[in-house]
Amino acid sequence: MKEYQTITEISGPLVFAEVDEPVGYDEIVEIETPNGETKRGQILESSDGLVAIQVFEGTTGIDKNASVRFLGETLKMPVTEDLLGRVLDGSGQPIDGGPDIVPDDRHDIVGEAINPFSREYPEEFIQSGVSAIDGMNTLVRGQKLPIFSASGLPHNNLALQIARQATVPEDDESEDDSSEFAVIFGAMGITAEEANEFMEDFERTGALERSVVFMNLADDPAVERTVTPRMALTTAEYLAFEKDYHVLVILTDMTNYCEALREIGAAREEVPGRRGYPGYMYTDLAQLYERAGRIEGREGSVTQIPILTMPGDDDTHPIPDLTGYITEGQIYIDRNLNSQGIEPPINPLPSLSRLMDDGIGEGLTREDHGDVSDQMFAAYAEGEDLRDLVNIVGREALSERDNTYLDFADRFEEEFLDQGFDTNRTIEETLEIGWDLLSMFPKTELNRIDEELIEQHYREDVGDEPAEEVAAD
Amino acid sequence: MSQATQETVREDGLIQSVSGPVVTAVDLDARMNDVVYVGDEGLMGEVIEIEGDLTTIQVYEETSGVGPGEPVENTGEPLTVDLGPGLLDTIYDGVQRPLDVLEEKMNSAFLDRGVDAPGIEMDEQWEFLPEVSEGDEVAPGDVVGTVEETVTIDHKVLVPPNFEGGEVTAIESGSFTVQETVVELDNGEEITMHQEWPVRQARPSAEKKTPRIPLVSGQRILDGLFPIAKGGTAAIPGPFGSGKTVTQHQLAKYADADIIVYVGCGERGNEMTEVIEDFPELEDPTTGNPLMARTSLIANTSNMPVAARESCIYTGITIAEYYRDMGYDVALMADSTSRWAEAMREISSRLEEMPGEEGYPAYLAARLSQFYERAGYFENINGTEGSVSAIGAVSPPGGDFSEPVTQNTLRIVKTFWALDADLAERRHFPAINWSESYSLYKNQLDPWFVENVASDWPEERQWGVDVLDEESELQEIVQLVGKDALPEDQQLTLDVARYLREAYLQQNAFHPTDTYCPPEKTYLLLTAIHHYHDEAFKALEAGVPVEEITAIDAAPRINRVGVQENYEEYIADLKEDIAAELRELY
Ligand SMILES: Nc1ncnc2c1ncn2[C@@H]1O[C@H](COP(=O)(O)OP(=O)(O)OP(=O)(O)O)[C@@H](O)[C@H]1O
Ligand SMILES: [Mg+2]
């Protein structure tokens, strides 16, 4: 392999070098600094005689005397089932002191797009044990459902709660489903403290054994963050589609990933898009998020829960905005609910699961699920609206109907949402709490629920007196 | 995508540089928009810029590992689609490669590259029924025979528009492949069931006419308030999760078009899978046949190559025009045109073109209007009439309609269905904002509704619109003082308006009955609310307190009309009960 000492320019994370042989786009480069350190990079642009290289580990220490080697292949992830239980750095090297990884195969980390014709529509209910999710924003296997959060909010606790509690309720018909469950955790630019939080929980609950952890921490090179999720997803696809695992991929924090993209774009002097992020960020994110799904004829599945912190709590910021346009819904963590002490502070109103409708109902969860959910949305939204009004005119100026909606909103938050990070509720329990609350209204007010279902579930005795605490445990 | 014909192949060039989907080549003898095969693997691409000896190519497949010095081969032909029987009941990528064939050829669930496949099956036999005889004169666009393409659609075999036409000297009948000649003309022209057409060029027509027939969608708020015409254009802008795709799917399922072309442009894989899984099972409301039998799907999802996303819109509209030429009413849905515009932007920025507004190329407005101009109600060159209706979703960043794609689209389209995050958040679906949306076709379609549904259709609609307008004014006061501070008649208006919103404007796409609402039902439901309004105000004038009026048992049944199959009877009973109950109060 030929070595070049032809670096002409170093700029931010980029290195430009002259070459006298053709180098393929996207291929891997090794750069050896004069003090013997080896860094890896990738070809961003290849033209006759000149290449632009993006260096993963940062360009510190590289000078014009550094030597450059072109490996003639694109970046690969060594994959094997033995990865389960291992902790790797952001570019896939073990950092847990364990044995070397003997790969079963090496997969290109960019990944090819799943042929839409080969996909299978996700419709298998995952019980997360969290009422706001299961009841009103149901997650299914093969879905990509991000958590929209912001700094200082407990999104990590929620992610861990889901990772701990997620199950697919046993159904007699699908007993042949012997697939195992695995968690892939891809950390991008999180603090060491956050990382410890995750690792301790994984170790405490024994989840580590069925997990593969990729850690790019806040003080690790930013450019490496563009590789970490691809490593994680390549591993996930291997386990899901070749080894039949049901894989849950948690990626955190996508905001750091996007910052890294912006940094590279700026270094390349690209025309920036909205708020300085690259114009191709939608496509780039789609190439990650679309790697969730199910494939016809394969047992396993890839479910993604990416976490992002919205800069300035603003969901029109390009990072949450583009994410929302790609993923199949989103779960909002709400600052107000959090300061009220509600755990988990999920605001169901702006949250959404687009795959919910096919994953719930008779034979899947329960016949009344969809209607109960619709009615609770409508009622909580109305109650929320009235809160603004009540501040102006006072409760007395409101009708009895309006007052019931206000009471509903309060009890909904206390009983339905505020379950705590350690409570695991079945879907039955979640729906029963729903009925307890909805029975505060007269039957005619329940216009989103089928009349027969009202007859079946409506609590005749509850009326609008507060029911005894059902949920607080 | 059509295979290049060998004789036109010109000299090969060499790759000079590679950057994502954009490749430059030297020494390539090519014209603008020629299709080329790039690199050792022969990835499909299209020439998009020529400057001196340097040719710039957008590549429709991933370019990882491709490097300078590899060959570029020119086909000498522009990007075309294959037209002929077999287009329906098929799913394509953005350059018309059938995705089922790709799965088979690649032997994988993942999209590999460098694999090509014709848009229609070249060896399949079709039963050709001639419609002309020897000695007949035929002109371009004329029908020479038919093929039963699906249970729903008879495919008309046309004299290609770029032929001269002449006297029929030989004609076949029976089973043929699309490559075999079925009709010969005296000037030597041979007609097969297969033709090709360059996607970026509109197929010719005789005349564009004023559309006067609605594209009935079975969606109350659309048919009732903001109808689109057959041959009309519509835009559905809205933030993420507001219901663009569900609305497009509803139209694809229930619109009374003959043919549906559904273009998934830069959106989710699972949404296309949903269509592939559902449409063969669902019934076309007009014919009762499986929906797939009238549908052609184009799926270039967000993770598929961006250059093919740029072309998928053209692939779709060309297929639509082809069926229009047969005299069919075609409806094309594009979800989302913003992703298409972004693909243009991405390519443009790699070309280092001068960016316009928000980085979009300066020709964005021109491309959008060229696309929507290809829609319309046409007199075809063969004298028949056909239409292409174009309905584009728009995904504005941050849900802000002031951005360039929304604004440039609104300048062209005549129907505007504005989706509203607030409504979506409170699960008011379809989340179409009734005060912002409009249809400029309303007046020209009224005669059709008057003749085919109800003589007072326009008046009833106006009544509903007036009540909703009044409600939004009253709501502003309510926000300040509360509802109970309003005079009784205004409180009653609010109650009526609530039924309009909850029973009439809302429609659950996932309820087996409510999902499709024929115009007759749309009309009757509106009259039921109007009836409640009239009876309620009579009671109020007679001195009945408003709380008693709004508390009658019958009124909430208005909210159940949507889910009734026997709606005529249900509504008749309901009207009677409302009147009876209210009259008892005074
Ligand atoms: N008519 C409807 N009836 C019931 N539910 C609806 C309706 N329209 C939309 N929804 C709900 O809203 C969700 C989001 O709708 P949809 O996927 O169409 O949004 P979108 O505007 O296409 O978003 P994106 O821009 O992200 O693709 C659906 O999954 C569904 O739950
Ligand atoms: Mg959509």
What does pTM read for this prediction? 0.93
**Structure-token pair, residue B207:** 């005349």
Mean model confidence pLDDT for chain B: 93
Say which range, A166-180, A403-417, B408-422, has the weakest mean pLDDT: A166-180
User: Computed from CA positions of residues B537, B538, B542, B544, in that sequence, does the dihedral angle turn out positive or negative?
Assistant: negative
The residue from A324, A357, A390 where one domain ends is: A357
Looking from the CA of residue B268, the nearest atom of ligand 1 is: 27
State what percent of residues in chain B have pLDDT above 70.
98
Question: B264 touching A, CB under 8 A?
Answer: yes
Question: Of the residues B217, B220, B242, B515, which should be mutated to test ligand 1's pocket, given the most ligand atoms within 8 Å of the CB?
Answer: B242
Interface of B with A in 339-368 (CB under 8 A): 339, 342, 345-346, 349, 355, 358-359
Both A82 and A70 in one domain: the answer is no
Band (pLDDT 50/70/90 cuts) for residue A392 is confident
User: Do A269 and A167 reside in the same domain of the chain?
Assistant: yes
pLDDT digits 0-9 by tens, B372-394: 999 999 999 999 999 999 999 99
Residue A364 belongs to some domain of the structure = no
Contact A122, A240 (CB under 8 A): no
Q: How many CB pairs under 8 A join A and B?
A: 223
Measured from CB, residues less than 6 Å from any atom of ligand 1 are A 325, 352, 354, 357; B 238, 240-246, 267, 395, 429-430, 507-510
Residue B9 has pLDDT above 60, yes or no: no
Picking from A324, A326, A314, A380, the residue whose alpha carbon sits closest to that of residue A349 is A380
Q: How confident is the model at residue A471 (pLDDT cuts 50, 70, 90)?
A: very low
Query: How many C-beta atoms surround the C-beta of residue A154 within 10 A?
Result: 16
Report pLDDT digits (tens) over B225-272.
999 999 999 999 999 999 999 999 999 999 999 999 999 999 999 999
Report ipTM for this prediction.
Answer: 0.91
For residue B396, whether the previous peptide bond is cis, meaning omega lies within 30 degrees of 0, is no
Whether A163 has a pLDDT exceeding 60, the answer reads: yes
Which residue in the block uniquely carries the two structure tokens 């009422």? A131
Q: B174 φ, ψ to 5°?
A: 125, -155
**A472 vs A85, higher pLDDT:** A85
Tell me which of A447 and A319 has the higher pLDDT.
A319
Question: A86 and A66 in one domain?
Answer: no
Nearest to B134 by CA among B184, B181, B169: B169
* Sign (positive or negative) of CA dihedral B185, B189, B193, B197: negative
pLDDT in tens, A288-326: 999 999 999 999 999 999 999 999 999 999 999 999 999
Q: Chain A contact for B274, CB < 8 A?
A: yes
User: Is pLDDT at A174 greater than 70 in this prediction?
Assistant: no
Specify whether A61 is located in the same domain as A104.
no
Are residues A233 and A298 located together in one domain of the fold?
yes
pLDDT at A466 over 70: no
Q: Residue A430: what pLDDT?
A: 97
Is the Cβ pair A121, B270 closer than 8 Å? yes
Q: Per mean pLDDT, which range of A56-60, B126-130, B397-401 is the poorest?
A: A56-60
- What is the least distance, in Å, from the CA of A204 to any CA of chain B? 36
Q: Do residues A60 and A185 share a domain?
A: no
State the CATH number of the domain containing residue A428: 1.10.1140.10
Amino acid at the residue B149: E
User: Residue A32: helix, strand or coil by DSSP?
Assistant: strand
pLDDT for A270: 81
CB-CB neighbors (< 8 A) of B425 in chain A: 349-350, 381
Classify residue A423 as exposed, middle or buried by CB count within 10 Å of its CB (0-12, 13-18, 19+).
middle
Same domain, A28 and A89: no
Q: Are residues A68 and A89 in the same domain?
A: no
* pLDDT tens digits along B445-497: 999 999 999 999 999 999 999 999 999 999 999 888 878 889 999 999 999 99
Kindly give the distance from the C-alpha atom of residue B244 to the centroid of ligand 2, in angstroms, as a whole number: 5
Q: How confident is the model over B40-62, as a mean pLDDT?
A: 90
Are residues A66 and A188 both part of a single domain?
A: no
Q: Is residue A363 domain-resident?
A: no
pLDDT mean across residues, chain A: 90
Evaluate if residue A398 carries a pLDDT over 90.
no
User: For the ranges A31-45, A158-172, A293-307, B77-91, which has the lowest average pLDDT?
Assistant: A158-172
Rounded to whole angstroms, how far apart are CA atoms A114 and A142? 13
| Closest chain B residue to A274, measured at CA | B358
Give how far B371 is from chain A: nearest CA, Å. Answer: 23
Residue among B15, B346, B480 minimizing CB distance to A392? B480
Locate tokens 């001269």: which residue?
B164
pLDDT of A40 over the 70 cut:
yes
Please report, for the domain that includes residue A101, its CATH number.
Answer: 3.40.50.12240
Beta strand A329-333 pairing with A181-190: unpaired
- In the reported structure, the alpha carbon of residue A136 is separated from the centroid of ligand 2 by a whole-number distance in angstroms of 20
pLDDT band at A403 (very low <50, low <70, confident <90, very high): very high
The minimum-distance atom of ligand 1 relative to the CA of B271 is 17
CB contact under 8 A, A282 and B342: yes
Inter-chain touch B483–A111, beta carbons under 8 Å:
no
Q: Which residues of A touch B398 (CB under 8 A)?
A: 316-317, 321
Per-residue pLDDT, B359: 87
Local confidence band at B341 (pLDDT 50, 70, 90 cut-offs): very high
| Strands A301-309 vs A246-252: parallel, antiparallel or unpaired | parallel
Q: What is the pLDDT of residues B496-541, one digit of tens each?
A: 999 999 999 999 999 999 999 999 999 999 999 999 999 999 999 9
End-to-end distance of chain A based on CA atoms, in angstroms?
65
Task: Identify the CA nearest to A118 among candidates A300, A294, A238.
Answer: A294
Residues A310 and A449 in one domain: no
Question: In chain B, what are the domains?
Answer: 13-78 (2.40.30.20), 125-193 (2.40.50.100), 207-452 (3.40.50.300), 454-585 (1.10.1140.10)
Residue A108 within any structural domain of the chain? yes
Same domain for A277 and A157:
yes
Residue A36, domain member (yes or no)? yes
Is the confidence at residue B207, as pLDDT, over 80? yes
State the amino acid at position B49 in one-letter form: E
CATH number at residue A39: 2.40.10.170
Q: pLDDT confidence of A272, banded at 50, 70, 90? A: confident
In-domain check, residue A362: no
User: Is 90 exceeded by the pLDDT of residue A339?
Assistant: yes
Contact B270 A293 (CB under 8 A): yes
Find the domain containing A441 and state its range.
369-472
pLDDT at site B356: 86
Q: Shortest CA distance to A265 belongs to which of A467, A78, A54?
A: A54
Relative to the CA of B236, which ligand 1 atom is closest? Answer: 21
CB-based contact B66 A25, cutoff 8 Å: yes
Domains contained in chain A, number: 3
* A436 domain residue, yes or no: yes
Query: Which residue among A357, A384, A415 closes a domain?
Result: A357
- Residue A171 has a pLDDT of 56
Q: What digits encode the pLDDT tens for the residues A217-240?
A: 999 888 889 999 999 999 999 999
Q: Is residue A162 part of a domain?
A: yes
Q: What is the pLDDT of residues B165-189, one digit of tens each?
A: 999 999 999 999 999 999 999 999 9
Which H or E element spans position A453? helix A451-457
**Contact call for B109 and A121, based on CB within 8 A:** no
Token representation of residue B301: 């999802």
**Whole-number pLDDT of residue A462:** 61
pLDDT at B578: 96
The confidence score (pLDDT) of residue A175 equals: 47
**Domain termination site, one of A331, A357, A383:** A357
Residues of A in contact with B482 (CB under 8 A): 389, 392-393, 397-398, 402
Q: How far apart are CA A87 and CA A224, in angstroms?
A: 16
| The pair of three-digit structure tokens given for residue A453, joined into one six-digit string | 């279902």
Mutate to test the pocket of ligand 1, among B245, B335, B432 (most ligand atoms within 8 A of CB): B245
* Residue A375 pLDDT greater than 60, yes or no: yes
**Sequence-ordered alpha helix ranges (H) in B255-329:** 269-278, 306-325
Output the pLDDT for position A311. 92
> Cα dist. B56→A407, B28, B38, B45, B67 in Å?
65, 10, 11, 10, 15
Mutate to test the interface with A, among B245, B301, B303 (most CBs of A within 10 A): B303
pLDDT band for position A177 (cuts 50, 70, 90): low
Query: What mean pLDDT comes out for the span B212-218?
Result: 97
Of the two residues A392 and B460, the one the predictor is more confident about is: B460
Residue A303 in any domain: the answer is yes
Atom index in ligand 1 nearest the CA of residue B509 equals 3
Nearest CA in chain A to B278: A121
Same domain, A68 and A86: no
Distance B243 CA to ligand 1 centre (A): 3
pLDDT over 90 (residue B64) = no
